[in-house]
Structure 1
């Protein structure tokens, strides 16, 4: 039981970056492929073709993401979804992360995000779920509700704890700089089996 509690605590700590509302608009994340990595630094090629270098320290944390089926989203699921404005006041999901029950309530709310122009991040509980050509989710959180349309093919992932040894050149990652020093990697997220972290 103690090992299980430690794993939950580690996962919660590793993924705290996703829920920092203040950091959402102030931290510039690096999304791309690893050009090189060593115990001292990681160099990432960005989506625009340039590269960014971050120092790796003993405090740098790691997280994995694995692919899920759309059916993993159920009423009562606690999710996070990066999305863009859709029609009739809805949001269109760019990705959905399905969190373990132990993380229910973490970072609950709706905030700006930097994945795409006018994108947002919503963390909340799935209530009504309409399954049609994709899913239409009613996501509730303290103080609000969002209707999120999940088109077919939208990346659906689950998070987990990672480690430095898994990092390899060519791997798709998101590097989250330290709030105290933008040249230091605070957290690094990578996908399993070639998955690109979709956030």
Structure 2
């Protein structure tokens, strides 16, 4: 099942990041593209998400210097683009994997592609990691720990349901009961031709 692999890799990426727990640490993908191509993409995807999670923490510091905040905002924008690109790479993998599957006449399309569903699983992995931290934080009150443990229980249940849905979707695509139709996200804010502010600056 795809989620068994994805869950393991997402957790590894989150754990690996937190060894140093620094947004500026070097990235080292343990999966070789020639041997473990999908694993390589999934690890890279989870790493981008994890770094961005901590960018978002940093930018919410009420005492942050405005210059630092602007730099962080641009890093978050770039990270969002990287995240989208990785999701599209992963969907391309699935499109290639199932290109010879002939959809049944009764086949239907899903509300989201396998990669965007896996994107949700990657974010959920981060939520679970950090909620578990809060549920076990030594300097927190018992009330805080109980509240976070209750939230953690819900997140874990949500992950089970999401994994079931993803595996069902992939199996349905494999069997021709569902078909993939992928749309590029067409993000506009980083494109000099589509963002009016960037366009005006490039023509100066």
Q: Provide TM-score, normalisation by structure 2.
A: 0.23
- The higher radius of gyration belongs to 2
Q: Name which structure has the greater RCO, CA cutoff 8 Å, separation 6+.
A: 1
Structure showing the higher helix proportion among its residues: 2
